[in-house]
A = this chain, B = another copy of it.
Amino acid sequence: MTSRELKNDVYDAIAGITKAFSNPNRLEILDLLSNGEKSVEEVAAQTAISFANASQHLQVLKSARLVRLRKEGNKVIYTLANPKVLAAWQAMKQLAEAVEPGIGLTLRQYRRARQTDQSISLSALDQTRYLLLDVRPAGEYDYGHLPGALSIPVDELELRLTELPKGKTIVAYCRGAYCTMADAAVLLLRAKGYNAVRLAESPVDSASAA
């Protein structure tokens, strides 16, 4: 094997992996799976991707070995295959936000319009004054959550308000900066008379050790 053949082989192989990251739908799927394993149906339901197309994208991720699958009954459950997938995906997000300021602008604009742009950092959280609330689906909370967080999925929030202490500010978090469940939760809570803000971080941020 010549030096050129070596390089071609190696860069082709790496591009085989990076190509799996080159589609916006697959990136959204990676963000979903970062929060917990999901069936094809769940992936399709939580994104704007059709069922068959979601299956195709998951297969692309699978042949790049970024995800693994497990059969459970007649369902197929997909999981991230390796913590390095998360690490690489986060590095890409950080790079993208650094070189493309439009991303941050879009996010801020969305939140300013809803007055959910205020957020509080985990390090500033004082348990006596704040309640940390995980508004993701229960399965994602079970898969991994921030210490001390209470789980009430945003869909159930209105019916379960009694579980919240009246005196504290509610600090809601969800799947991360591109997820709007915490925004929805904050808006609902404020409409019901609570003080509520978003959390600056998300559980995925802390799960990225290689």
Write the residues of chain A forming the contact surface with B, with a CB cutoff of 8 angstroms. Answer: 1, 3-4, 6-19, 21-25, 27-28, 48, 64-66, 81-82, 84-85, 87-88, 90-96, 98-100, 102-103, 106-107, 109-110, 113, 178, 180, 183-184, 210
Contact = CB atoms under 8 A, between A and B. Distances in A.
B48 A178 contact: no
A13 B102 contact: yes
The majority secondary structure among interface residues of chain A is helix
A94 B84 contact: yes
A30 to B, nearest CB: 10
B27 A14 contact: yes
A180 B19 contact: no
B6 A107 contact: yes
B18 A22 contact: yes
A81 B90 CA distance: 19
A50 to B, nearest CB: 14
17 contacts: A3-B183, A3-B184, A6-B107, A7-B180, A8-B48, A9-B106, A11-B27, A11-B28, A15-B21, A21-B21, A66-B99, A82-B99, A84-B98, A88-B95, A91-B91, A91-B92, A94-B210
A100 B63 CA distance: 10
A15 B107 CA distance: 16
Contacts of A27: 11, 14-15, 18
Looking at A7, A25, A109, A113, which has the most chain B CB atoms within 10 Å of its CB? A7
A168 to B, nearest CB: 27
